[in-house]
């Protein structure tokens, strides 16, 4: 069970020590000092997985601002969980399994399972216009998209790394900068659409 009290308890409980606490504090500070707002765009369908293969949810996913804080809390609670190819639970994640888990847990939506399928939905966003919750895509091992993460703030993104598990990366890091392909937006703050 994930412990979300570390983000709100100012008495610094035992679970909030070391590197995990640093990540949580950094994410909380970023949320307080910046706010994100997604622009409007035409609705698209996202195919549900598993038993609900015939159902769709429309994009953009409309969210309240408090859900963006919950997104950061949910991500920070998973830092350090190990990488598992094909994993999509707290026992271990691969990159797209991590994205799916976070989006389902935070927004109660189902997304395509692979990074390549995820790259086909949403609205493409230029790197300089990224907002919290956008998906960022990379070519790590070849010519096709094979890695995805969730943009946080200040060029930082969360992802499931095959070498470090769930962690943060920086888009300005030469390794990721060289391999960055695109970003897409799935979220829109409710009330921000043009009428």
Model's pTM, two decimal places?
A: 0.74
Q: How confident is the model at residue 58, as a pLDDT? A: 77
Asked, for residue 55, whether it belongs to a domain, the answer is: yes
Q: 70 exposed, middle or buried (CB, 10 Å; 0-12, 13-18, 19+)?
A: middle
Which CATH number goes with the domain that contains 132?
Answer: 3.90.1720.10
Q: Is position 194 within any domain?
A: no
Q: What are the Cα distances from residue 71, in Å, to 36, 52, 67, 158, 176?
A: 13, 24, 6, 11, 23
Judge whether 153 lies within some domain.
yes
- Say what the pLDDT of residue 169 is: 98
- Can you tell me the distance from the alpha carbon of 189 to that of 193, in angstroms, rounded to the nearest whole number? 8
Residue 63's alpha-carbon distances to 87, 108, 192, in angstroms, are 26, 11, 10
pLDDT at 98: 98
Q: Is residue 27 part of a domain?
A: yes
The total of other beta-carbon atoms located within 10 Å of residue 163's CB is 6
Residue 35: per-residue pLDDT: 30
Q: Is residue 7 part of a domain?
A: no
Q: What pLDDT does residue 18 have? A: 56
Q: Is residue 3 part of a domain?
A: no
The pLDDT score that the predictor gives to residue 195 is: 43
- On whether residue 87 sits in a domain, the answer given is yes
Give the number of domains in the chain. 1
Active site residues: 95, 147, 159
172: in domain:
yes
Q: What is the mean pLDDT of each run of 10 residues along the chain (195 residues)?
A: 43 47 51 32 40 61 95 98 97 97 95 95 96 98 96 98 97 97 96 55
**In this predicted structure, what is the pLDDT of residue 16?**
45
Instruction: Give the phi and the psi of residue 24 in degrees, each rounded to 5.
Output: -65, -45
Structural domain range at position 31: 15-189
């Amino acid at each position: 069970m994930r412990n979300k009290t570390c983000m709100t308890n100012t008495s610094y409980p035992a679970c909030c020590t070391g590197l995990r606490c640093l990540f949580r504090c950094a994410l909380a500070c970023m949320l307080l000092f910046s706010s994100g707002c997604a622009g409007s765009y035409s609705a698209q369908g996202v195919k549900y997985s598993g038993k609900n293969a015939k159902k769709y949810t429309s994009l953009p996913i409309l969210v309240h601002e408090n859900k963006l804080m919950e997104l950061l809390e949910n991500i920070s609670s998973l830092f350090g969980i190990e990488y598992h190819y094909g994993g999509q639970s707290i026992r271990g994640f691969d990159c797209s399994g991590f994205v799916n888990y976070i989006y389902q847990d935070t927004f109660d939506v189902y997304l395509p399972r692979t990074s390549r399928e995820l790259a086909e939905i949403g609205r493409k966003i230029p790197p300089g216009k990224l907002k919290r919750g956008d998906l960022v895509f990379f070519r790590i091992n070849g010519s096709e998209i094979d890695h995805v993460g969730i943009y946080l703030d200040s060029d930082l993104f969360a992802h499931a790394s095959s070498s470090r598990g769930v962690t943060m990366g920086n888009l300005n890091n030469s390794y990721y900068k060289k391999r960055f392909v695109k970003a897409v937006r799935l979220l829109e703050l409710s009330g921000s659409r043009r009428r």
